[in-house]
Structure 1
Amino acid sequence: MLKILGKASSINVRKVLWTCAELNLRFEREDWGTGFRSTQTPEFLSLNPNGLVPVLKDDDLVLWESNSIIRYLASRYDGAHLYPADPIARAPVDQWMDWQATDLNRSWSYVFLRLVRQSEEHQAEDETARSIESWTKHMRILNARLLATNAYVAGKQFSLADIVVGLSVNRWFGTPFEHPHLPAVSEYFDRLSDRPGFATYCRNGLP
C-alpha cells in the first residue's frame, strides 16, 4: 500500500491525496510537519534531504516533490485520463503544473504568510502590496486561460493541472484581502466540485 508522509493540512500533501482520490488508490498517511513529527530529523531527512512534505513511499520507491509524485501516480496507476501519454496532449498539462509551482506559488507566498499564517517575519506593507499585485496578475492570466478553454486549465478535460491549480484557487479565495471579480475562475472552481476528493482535500475550509 502507498504511504504518504505529511500532515493533511499541507497544500502540497493535499495534491497527492486528491490525486489518490481521483485514481481510487488506497494509502496510509503519517503526520509529519509543523505541529507533528519534525521533518528535520535524520529519519525524515534520509527520505527527503530538503526536509519538506510530502514524501511518497511505494514499495522500494521513495519520492518527493508533490508535482513529481502526482505525475508518477498517474503514470503508474492507470491515470492517462489525468496525465496523457501522448506528448502533445501532455505538454499543456505539464506547462500549467510548472506555472503553478513556480510563477503562481511565488506570487502568493508573502501575502499568504502574513494574512493567513500570521508570520511575524512577513509584516512589511510594501512587500504585502507587491505580493497581492503579483498574485492578482497571475490570477488574471488564469482567468483569461479559463475563458479560452471554457472548461479546464489544460483544455477540455480535467487533468493533474487542475488539481494543483485548483488548490491554489482555493488558497486565493481563502486569503482575506479584496479580490477582483474573476468570473471564469469562480465558475471553474464551482466546476471542480463534482470531482472525487475535491470537498475533502480542496474546498474543505483550509486555505
Structure 2
Amino acid sequence: MLKILGKAPSINVRKVLWTCAEIGLPYELEEWGAGTGRPVPTPEFLQLNPHGLVPVLVDDGNVLWESNTICRYLTGRHQRFDLLPPDPLARAHVEKWMDWQATDLNASWRYAFMALVRRSPDFTDPAAIAASAAAWNRQMGVLDAQLAATGAFATGDTFTLADIVLGVSVQRWLSTPIDHANLPAVRAYHERLRQRPAFVTHGATHP
C-alpha cells in the first residue's frame, strides 16, 4: 500500500490525497508536520526529503517528494491518461498549468496567506499584505480568462490533473479574507469542482 507522509490540512498533501481518490488508490496517511507530534525537520524525515517538507510518498520502497511530481507519478503509473494524456502536446498543456500553479500563483499568495490565515508574526507588514493580495488577484485573473475561454476546466472540456492542483488553489483564494476580484469563471469553476466527491473530501476541507 502507498504511504503518504504529511497531514491532511496541508494544501500540497491534499493534492496527493485527491489524486489518490480520483484514481481509487488505497493509501496509509502517516501524519507528519506541525501539530502531529512528528515534526518534519528530524534526521529520520530529512533522509526522505532533504527539504523537510510534506508530502513524501513511499511506494514499494521508492521515495518521492514534490507534490505535483507525486501526482504525475501516480497518474502515470496507473495509466490514468484521462488525467494526464500521453500525447506530448496535450500533456504539456496540463503540465504548464501545474507548473504555473507551483510557481507564479504560489509566489503571489504566500505573504497574504501567511499573514491573514496562518497569523504568522513574521508576516505583518500591511503594505506587503496588500501587495500580495493584489498580485494574487492578478494571477487568479489569468486563470479566470482561461476558464472563461474553455467554459469548463483548465485545459478544455475534460477534468485533468491540472484541475486538482488548481482546485486546491482556488479553494485557498476563496477562503482567505482578502478583497476578492470579480472573477465569475473562477467561482463557476469552484462550483463545478464541488460536484466531484473527491474534491469535497480533500480539496474543499481547508484553505
TM-score (normalizing by structure 1): 0.98
* Equivalent residues, number: 206
Q: Does 1:29 align with 2:29?
A: yes
What do residues 111-147 of structure 1 show as CA deviations (whole Å, max 9, x unaligned)? 0000000011100011111101100100111100001
Answer yes or no: is the 8 Å Cα contact 1:146–1:188 preserved in 2: yes
Q: Does 1:104 align with 2:105?
A: yes
Q: 2:84 & 2:197 partners in 1: Cα distance?
A: 16
Structure 2 partner of 1:46 = 47
Q: Does 1:140 align with 2:171?
A: no
What do residues 10-30 of structure 1 show as CA deviations (whole Å, max 9, x unaligned)? 000000000000000000001
Structure 1 partner of 2:86 = 85
Q: Which runs of 4+ in 1 moved over 4 A?
A: none
- For structure 1, which segment, 133-142 or 193-202, has the greater mean C-alpha deviation from structure 2 after superposition? 193-202
Q: 2:64 & 2:155 partners in 1: Cα distance?
A: 25
Write the letter of the residue equivalent to 1:108: W
Q: 2:136 & 2:171 partners in 1: Cα distance?
A: 13
Aligned-pair Cα RMSD in Å: 0.7
Write the letter of the residue equivalent to 2:33: G
Residue 64 of structure 2 aligns to a residue whose secondary structure is strand
Answer yes or no: is the 8 Å Cα contact 1:22–1:195 preserved in 2: no
Q: 1:182 & 1:15 partners in 2: Cα distance?
A: 23
Residue 123 of structure 1 aligns to a residue whose secondary structure is coil
Write the letter of the residue equivalent to 2:174: F
Answer yes or no: is the 8 Å Cα contact 1:18–1:196 preserved in 2: no
Q: 2:181 & 2:12 partners in 1: Cα distance?
A: 26
Cα displacement (A) at 1:74: 0.1
Runs (5+) with no aligned partner, structure 1: none
Percent identity of paired positions between Structure 1 and Structure 2? 57
Residue 194 of structure 2 aligns to a residue whose secondary structure is helix
Cα displacement (A) at 1:202: 1.1
